[in-house]
């Protein structure tokens, strides 16, 4: 494997892991409530910015991270409670507008709570590049990929083994049936938002040492996460992870081998091509229409 | 039986014409005119977009792309190739219609969020190409555009443009209203209700969807060309994903499946940022809050909600 | 007869007093939020701070200054609408603004048509070339940055250069200028890569440049977070040839973001960044030290050259008004054009009918980052 190819691959996997985390957030909320939460990117921002603030005032990194994730989860819960729940039964487009409004609001609040500058976060274990077959990697990339793997495994255990997780899955398959067996759907919805927010925050914290964080870092990441979730099949957990990794790799390879200026366009063209042949995404549920 | 909608349609159009005619009494300086013209231009795009979203029930998160193609098409043809502005506008509109027709067929095969993603991707690809091909388009800093000219006479000045845009808006609304009440419009509403049901009734849903997609693209392109000549300048900032979202928000705000709702939505969301400047650094927070609260408490949009409230007050026959 | 004259005098006097009461309105449209907030935020803060200080010192021509500013968020159309609002509704006396080139160029026709003196805070050379009657600018042009960098490269014996730039307006404009002027310095651009504005990894592009054995130095024309990431990636993949940045990253924030990777990076910048390192004999020392100190004291954040450009814009406008003795737009414009020997944070300004920026190459200093701080080269 040529060193150049390996370099592109590693770069793609690193950013792809972040997209995967954000995409998972989209999928979880979509599954529970059919809502596309366009404010997902802001959870990424809240995670990163909160960690930066807390470490700046002297908190040790692990505590700062935990607090940041909790803060984001709290915002997620608030979003569900005050924005999505009151709009129960509204059309899909209306809900999309509400979450977009929420994302603008959150960004506005971010400029007031923090500032409009870009902030770095110290890498978890230093900056010394690691050589790997002619390509180089920063230690933080390993953290990103490693933690994402752990998170995915945890989620698999959560959905497969815990009661709340199974309740979430049940609600996504058939809300009415879930209610009939006694699942409190309102709690499930809250949990899904909280969980997605936490995932977004983790992504934001992991990637801040590499890409920095700022009040509007969520916009692009949210968009790419959404694209990744659709690519993999909206609502499918494995699809979100696959979509995220693929998107990252396509971008990296596109930049490296074709044209760095058109990298994003190439990625979107590929997504559109996939959707053309597989209108429900790579691993999406083949939906059936009831007439 | 059809008498009712006809009456509502023409009375609505008359009311809009009255507003357009009388508004200048309230406009005190060129800045006011500028805002009014921007409202009109946005309204034209929204009326077309509403046909797609509100009536046909298809979502598009990429319509800023068609707007941009219209604007840049006019700009490039007049500046780089020396075409006369009106000819450039016509050619551009035809070109955008063709592009929409070609992209429309494959894209409209998708549904729901996948369609949203596909239109989003389309819009982003267009904006990336525009921003990158700087030799042709002037890149991220944009390019200047000569004023619209008819038979060599330059059409410039806020007053003149106000009447021009007002006129085009009235024509656009009239066309949209006619479309909605035509067999094509009824087919659209049928397939919005249930695509399979409509097909069973013999409606070729694919070709209807593509047709309304093309029509909405044409509306956007015309508005784009006009904007380019009015502003005398064009930049990629109007071709972004954010602007696409803004357009969808205007349509939903005012009320989907309501042509006048689209105009109201455009008016509100174009003037709102101007009014919110008093909030200085709280502007973004206020804007987001307004969007959220309006949609939470008036989920059907402004015009249908107000119309329903008004209708319920009227004593029942 | 006497009564009529007396009445006329009283009215004139009254109007004169009313006129004196009217504040001098400084209009501004800045990218305070959005992708160029890096520029607009310090600009806004600077204008607010100094209008306050000027008012405390008595104002201008016996009148108070009033700032009317809007956030155009980097969007050219918003800029246009706000500029129209400033001209038509707020009726300002001068406009200092336009953080980005796109926003500035959209407003130029308005300023020209309305006869409004407009001092732009954006970078591209196209703003003042060709010269427009009512439009001036304070920041150094991107072409000057290219010239300064190429001169320094030549002095180090570099003849073949790799270029990497972003997709923003500033980046593209500077890249275009560098490609044009390189041969004037005997320099050849042998590699030319680009990255996107929100990109988080440039190792792919840098790897391609590294593979080109001819490259003797690399110039990164960009601003925002892109150059910081480029710098970090540069060290990560072990590139050893000299790296030059542009004046787009002339702020401590760049050093903070790039961390240790910034060691040894050179860039052209205004003297403002090395205020405390200038010799006392330097003509700019006083101005830049004062601005630095006052900005840092008030806002508790590092001074930025972008804020400095806003400072220069405001002060030039005020100085022109004083020399013209009025706020009459045509007189102020003429006075601006006649500015000579004005010492600003960006350099010494000498304007003329053909030069509406007034800075020459000496206004740029070549800086090198050593031990996370700026140092003056030679």
Q: What is the pLDDT of residues A150-167, one digit of tens each?
A: 999 999 888 888 888 888
Q: What is the pLDDT of residues B113-135, one digit of tens each?
A: 788 888 999 999 999 999 888 88
Q: How confident is the model at residue B10 (pLDDT cuts 50, 70, 90)?
A: confident
pLDDT at B4 over 70: no
Question: How many CB atoms are closer than 10 A to CB B38?
Answer: 22
Residues from chain A that touch B302, judged by Cβ atoms under 8 A, are none
Residues in a beta bridge with C343: C348
CB contact under 8 A, C77 and B235: yes
pLDDT at B220 over 90: yes
Query: Tell me, which fold does domain C24-140+287-363 have in CATH?
Result: Rossmann fold (3.40.50)
Q: Which has the minimum average pLDDT: A184-198, B4-18, C37-51, C284-298? A: B4-18
* Strand extents, DSSP E, chain B: 143-144, 148-150, 153-155, 233-234
Q: What is the pLDDT of residues B265-289, one digit of tens each?
A: 999 989 988 888 888 778 888 888 9
What would the mean pLDDT of A179-202 be, rounded to a whole number?
90
Cβ proximity of A145 and A217 under 8 Å:
no
Cis peptide bond prior to B92, omega within 30° of 0: no
Q: Does A142 touch chain B (CB under 8 A)?
A: no
Residue carrying structure tokens 């015309």: B222
Nearest residue to C202 (alpha-carbon basis) of C170, C236, C241, C175: C236
Domain boundaries, chain C: 24-140+287-363, 143-269
Query: Rounded to whole angstroms, what are the CA distances from B109 to A236, A280, B115, B210, C145?
Result: 21, 11, 8, 10, 51
> Which architecture, in CATH terms, is C143-269?
3-Layer(aba) Sandwich (3.40)
Cβ proximity of C130 and C108 under 8 Å:
no
Residue of B61, B261, B292 best to disrupt the A interface, most CBs of A under 10 A: B292
What would the mean pLDDT of B236-251 be, rounded to a whole number?
89
Residues from chain A that touch C212, judged by Cβ atoms under 8 A, are none
Q: Are strands C135-137 and C118-120 parallel, antiparallel or unpaired?
A: parallel
Q: For all residues of chain C together, what is the average pLDDT?
A: 90
Residues 215-254 (B) with a CB less than 8 A from some CB of C = 231-233, 235, 237-238
Separation between Cα atoms, residue B102 and residue C170, nearest integer Å: 35
Residue carrying structure tokens 């997605």: A196
Helix or strand or coil: residue C126?
helix
Q: What is the pLDDT of residues C109-145, one digit of tens each?
A: 999 999 999 999 998 888 998 999 999 999 999 999 9
Give the model's pLDDT for residue C4. 65
Q: What is the pLDDT of residues A228-276, one digit of tens each?
A: 999 998 888 889 999 999 999 999 888 888 887 788 888 899 988 988 8
Give the model's pLDDT for residue B114. 83
Token pair belonging to C156: 């180090």
Separation between Cα atoms, residue C123 and residue C139, nearest integer Å: 6
Q: Does C106 touch chain A (CB under 8 A)?
A: no
Contacts 24+ apart (CB under 8 A), C123-132: C123/C170, C123/C173, C123/C174, C123/C247, C123/C248, C124/B141, C124/C169, C124/C170, C124/C173, C125/C173, C125/C177, C126/B141, C126/C101, C126/C173, C127/C101, C128/C355, C128/C356, C128/C357, C131/C353, C131/C354, C131/C355, C131/C356, C132/C108, C132/C356
Q: How confident is the model at residue C5 (pLDDT cuts 50, 70, 90)?
A: low
Give the model's pLDDT for residue C264. 93
Question: How many CB atoms are closer than 10 A to CB C54?
Answer: 18
- B198 within domain boundaries: yes
Domains along chain A?
3-277 (1.10.3470)
Residues from chain A that touch B269, judged by Cβ atoms under 8 A, are none
CA distance to partner chain B, nearest, from residue C278 (Å): 36
Token pair belonging to C279: 């010799």
Q: How confident is the model at residue C359 (pLDDT cuts 50, 70, 90)?
A: very high
Question: How many CB atoms are closer than 10 A to CB B3?
Answer: 7
Q: What is the pLDDT of residues C307-352, one digit of tens each?
A: 999 999 999 999 999 999 999 999 999 999 999 999 999 999 999 9
Q: What is the pLDDT of residues C215-267, one digit of tens each?
A: 999 999 998 889 999 999 999 888 999 999 999 998 888 998 898 899 999 99
Phi, psi at C160, each rounded to 5°: -125, 130
CB contact under 8 A, B116 and A111: no
Cβ proximity of C319 and C54 under 8 Å:
no
Separation between Cα atoms, residue A232 and residue A22, nearest integer Å: 13
Residues from chain C that touch A209, judged by Cβ atoms under 8 A, are none
Q: Are strands B153-155 and C348-349 parallel, antiparallel or unpaired?
A: unpaired
Write down which chains contact chain B via at least 3 CB pairs under 8 A. Answer: A, C
Nearest residue to A260 (alpha-carbon basis) of B287, C196, C262: C196
Separation between Cα atoms, residue C310 and residue C293, nearest integer Å: 16
What would the mean pLDDT of A96-117 be, rounded to a whole number?
89
CA distance to partner chain B, nearest, from residue A128 (Å): 35
Using CB atoms, which residue from B113, B124, B291 is nearest to A268? B124
> Residue B79 maps to which CATH number?
1.10.3470
Give the model's pLDDT for residue B1. 46
Separation between Cα atoms, residue C120 and residue C319, nearest integer Å: 16
Phi, psi at C68, each rounded to 5°: -115, 105
pLDDT at A65 over 60: yes
Q: How many domains does the structure of chain B reveal?
A: 1
Residue of A39, A82, A94 best to disrupt the B interface, most CBs of B under 10 A: A94
Share of chain A above pLDDT 70, in %: 97
CB contact under 8 A, C81 and B38: yes
H helix or E strand, kind and range, residue B73 = helix B63-79
CA distance to partner chain B, nearest, from residue C85 (Å): 5
Cβ proximity of A41 and A221 under 8 Å:
yes
Q: Does B35 touch chain C (CB under 8 A)?
A: yes
Q: What is the span of the domain harbouring residue B184?
A: 3-267
Separation between Cα atoms, residue B147 and residue C29, nearest integer Å: 24
Residue carrying structure tokens 């790579």: A282
Helix or strand or coil: residue A179?
helix
Give the model's pLDDT for residue C136. 95
Domain pair C24-140+287-363 / C143-269, same fold: yes
CB contact under 8 A, C37 and A116: yes
Q: For all residues of chain B together, what is the average pLDDT?
A: 87
Q: How confident is the model at residue A73 (pLDDT cuts 50, 70, 90)?
A: very high
Question: How many CB atoms are closer than 10 A to CB B81?
Answer: 8
Share of chain C above pLDDT 70, in %: 95
Give the model's pLDDT for residue B295. 86
Listing DSSP states for B192-255 in one string gives HH-HHHHHHTT--HHHHHHHHHHHHHHHHHHHHHHHHHHHTEE-GGGGSHHHHHHHHHHHHHH-
Residues 220-249 (A) with a CB less than 8 A from some CB of B = 223, 226-227, 230, 234
Pure H helices in chain C: 2-21, 37-56, 76-84, 101-114, 142-155, 169-181, 203-211, 226-236, 252-258, 285-299, 305-324, 329-337
Q: What is the pLDDT of residues B153-194, one digit of tens each?
A: 778 888 889 999 999 999 999 999 988 888 888 888 787 777
Token pair belonging to B186: 């009824």
Residue of B190, B291, B294 best to disrupt the A interface, most CBs of A under 10 A: B291
Higher-confidence residue of C267 and A128: namely C267
Listing DSSP states for C186-240 in one string gives T-EEEEEEE--TT----HHHHHHHHH-TT--EEEEE--TTHHHHHHHHHHHTT--
Q: Does A274 touch chain B (CB under 8 A)?
A: no
Using CB atoms, which residue from A93, A262, A279 is nearest to B256? A93
Question: How many CB atoms are closer than 10 A to CB A50?
Answer: 25
Query: Rounded to whole angstroms, what are the CA distances from C88 to B267, C19, C30, C208?
Result: 21, 19, 18, 52
Helix axes A217-232, A263-277, angle to 10 degrees: 30
Separation between Cα atoms, residue C261 and residue C247, nearest integer Å: 18
Give the model's pLDDT for residue B314. 62
Phi, psi at C279, each rounded to 5°: -65, 150
Separation between Cα atoms, residue B281 and residue B292, nearest integer Å: 19
Separation between Cα atoms, residue B17 and residue C304, nearest integer Å: 52
- B293 within domain boundaries: no
- Tell me the pTM: 0.88
Give the model's pLDDT for residue A118. 85
Pure H helices in chain A: 3-33, 40-56, 61-79, 92-113, 139-161, 163-173, 175-180, 185-211, 217-232, 237-253, 263-277
Separation between Cα atoms, residue A244 and residue A225, nearest integer Å: 7
Separation between Cα atoms, residue C249 and residue C262, nearest integer Å: 11
Separation between Cα atoms, residue A136 and residue B210, nearest integer Å: 49
| Cβ neighbours for C300, distance < 8 A, ≥ 6 positions apart | none
Cβ proximity of C109 and C118 under 8 Å:
no
Q: How confident is the model at residue A291 (pLDDT cuts 50, 70, 90)?
A: low
C-alpha torsion sign, points B260, B265, B270, B272 = positive
Give the model's pLDDT for residue A288. 55
Q: What is the pLDDT of residues C159-186, one digit of tens each?
A: 999 999 998 888 999 999 999 999 999 9
CB pairs B-C closer than 8 Å? 74
């Amino acid at each position: 494997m040529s060193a150049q190819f390996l370099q592109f691959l590693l770069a793609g996997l690193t950013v792809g892991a972040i997209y995967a985390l954000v995409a998972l957030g989209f999928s979880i909320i979509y599954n529970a409530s059919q809502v596309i939460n366009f404010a997902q990117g802001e959870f990424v921002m809240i995670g990163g910015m909160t960690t930066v603030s807390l470490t700046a005032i002297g908190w040790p990194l692990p505590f700062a991270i935990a607090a940041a994730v909790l803060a984001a989860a709290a915002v997620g819960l608030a979003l569900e409670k005050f924005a999505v729940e009151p709009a129960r039964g509204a059309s899909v487009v209306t809900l999309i507008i509400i979450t977009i409004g929420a994302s603008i609001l959150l960004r506005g609040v971010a400029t007031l709570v923090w500032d409009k500058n870009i902030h770095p976060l110290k890498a978890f274990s230093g900056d010394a590049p690691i050589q790997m077959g002619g390509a180089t990697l920063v230690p933080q990339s390993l953290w990103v990929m490693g933690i994402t793997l752990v998170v995915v495994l945890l989620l698999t255990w959560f959905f497969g083994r815990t009661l709340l997780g199974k309740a979430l899955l049940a609600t996504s398959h058939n809300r009415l049936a879930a209610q009939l067996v006694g699942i409190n759907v309102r709690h499930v919805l809250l949990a899904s938002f909280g969980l997605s927010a936490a995932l977004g925050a983790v992504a934001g914290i992991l990637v801040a040492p590499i890409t920095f964080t700022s009040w509007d870092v969520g916009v692009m990441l949210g968009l790419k996460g959404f694209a990744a979730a659709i690519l993999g099949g909206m609502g499918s957990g494995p699809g979100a992870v696959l979509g995220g990794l693929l998107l990252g790799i396509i971008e990296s390879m596109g930049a490296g081998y074709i044209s760095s200026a058109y990298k994003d366009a190439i990625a979107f063209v590929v997504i559109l091509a996939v959707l053309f042949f597989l209108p429900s995404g790579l691993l999406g549920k083949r939906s059936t229409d009831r007439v | 039986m059809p008498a009712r909608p006809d009456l509502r349609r023409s009375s609505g159009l008359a009311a809009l014409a009255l507003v357009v005619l009388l508004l200048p009494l309230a406009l005190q300086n060129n800045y006011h005119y500028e805002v009014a013209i921007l409202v009109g231009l946005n309204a034209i795009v929204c009326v077309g977009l509403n046909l797609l979203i509100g009536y046909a029930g298809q979502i598009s998160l990429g319509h800023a792309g068609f707007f941009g193609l219209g604007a840049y098409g006019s700009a490039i043809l007049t500046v780089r190739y020396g075409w006369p502005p009106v000819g450039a506008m016509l050619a551009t509109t035809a070109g955008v219609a063709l592009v929409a027709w070609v992209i429309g067929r494959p894209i409209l095969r998708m549904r729901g969020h996948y369609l949203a993603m596909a239109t989003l991707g389309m819009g982003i690809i267009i904006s990336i190409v525009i921003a990158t091909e700087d030799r042709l388009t002037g890149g991220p800093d944009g390019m200047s555009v000569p004023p619209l000219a008819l038979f060599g006479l330059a059409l410039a000045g806020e007053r003149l443009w106000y009447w021009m845009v007002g006129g085009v808006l009235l024509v656009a609304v009239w066309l949209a209203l006619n479309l909605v009440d035509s067999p094509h419009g009824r087919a659209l509403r049928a397939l919005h209700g249930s695509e399979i049901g409509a097909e069973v009734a013999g409606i070729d849903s694919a070709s209807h969807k593509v047709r309304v997609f093309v029509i909405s693209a044409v509306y956007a392109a015309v508005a784009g060309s006009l904007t380019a000549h009015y502003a005398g300048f064009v930049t990629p900032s109007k071709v972004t994903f954010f602007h696409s979202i803004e357009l969808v928000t205007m349509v939903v705000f005012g009320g989907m499946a309501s042509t006048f709702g689209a105009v109201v939505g455009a008016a509100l969301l174009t003037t709102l940022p101007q009014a919110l400047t008093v909030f200085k650094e709280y502007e973004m927070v206020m804007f987001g809050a307004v969007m959220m609260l309006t949609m939470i408490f008036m989920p059907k949009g402004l015009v249908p909600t107000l119309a329903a409230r008004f209708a319920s007050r009227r004593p029942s026959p | 007869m006497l009564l009529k004259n007396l009445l006329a005098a009283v009215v004139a006097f009254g109007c004169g007093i009313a006129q004196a009461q009217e504040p001098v309105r400084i209009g501004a449209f800045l990218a305070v939020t959005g992708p160029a907030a890096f520029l607009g935020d310090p600009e806004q803060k600077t204008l607010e701070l100094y209008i306050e200080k000027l008012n405390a010192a008595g104002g201008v021509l016996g009148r108070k200054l009033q700032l009317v500013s809007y956030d155009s968020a980097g969007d050219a159309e918003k800029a246009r609408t706000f500029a129209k609002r400033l001209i038509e509704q707020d009726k300002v006396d001068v406009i200092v603004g336009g953080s980005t080139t796109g926003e500035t160029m959209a407003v130029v026709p308005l300023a020209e048509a309305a006869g409004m003196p407009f001092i732009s805070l954006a970078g591209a050379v196209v703003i003042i070339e060709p010269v427009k009657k009512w439009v001036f600018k304070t920041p150094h042009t991107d072409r000057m940055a290219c010239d300064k960098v190429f001169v320094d490269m030549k002095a180090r014996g570099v003849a073949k250069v790799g270029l990497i730039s972003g997709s923003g307006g500033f980046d593209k404009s500077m890249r275009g200028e560098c490609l044009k002027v390189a041969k004037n310095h005997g320099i050849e651009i042998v590699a030319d890569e680009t990255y996107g504005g929100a990109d988080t990894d440039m190792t792919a592009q840098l790897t391609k440049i590294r593979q080109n054995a001819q490259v003797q130095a690399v110039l990164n024309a960009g601003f925002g977070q892109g150059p910081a990431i480029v710098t970090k990636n540069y060290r990560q993949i072990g590139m050893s040839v000299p790296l030059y940045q542009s004046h787009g990253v002339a702020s401590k924030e760049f050093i903070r973001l790039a961390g240790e990777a910034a060691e040894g990076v050179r860039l052209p910048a205004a003297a403002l960044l090395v205020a405390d390192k200038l010799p006392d004999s330097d003509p700019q020392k006083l101005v830049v030290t004062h601005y630095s100190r006052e900005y840092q004291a008030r806002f508790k954040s590092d001074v930025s050259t972008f804020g400095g450009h806003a400072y220069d814009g405001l002060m030039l406008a005020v100085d022109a008004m004083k020399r013209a003795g009025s706020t009459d737009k045509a007189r102020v414009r003429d006075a601006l054009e006649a500015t000579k020997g004005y010492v600003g944070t960006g350099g010494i300004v000498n304007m003329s009918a053909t030069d509406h920026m007034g800075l020459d190459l000496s206004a740029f200093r070549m800086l090198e980052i050593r031990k996370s701080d700026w140092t003056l080269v030679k």
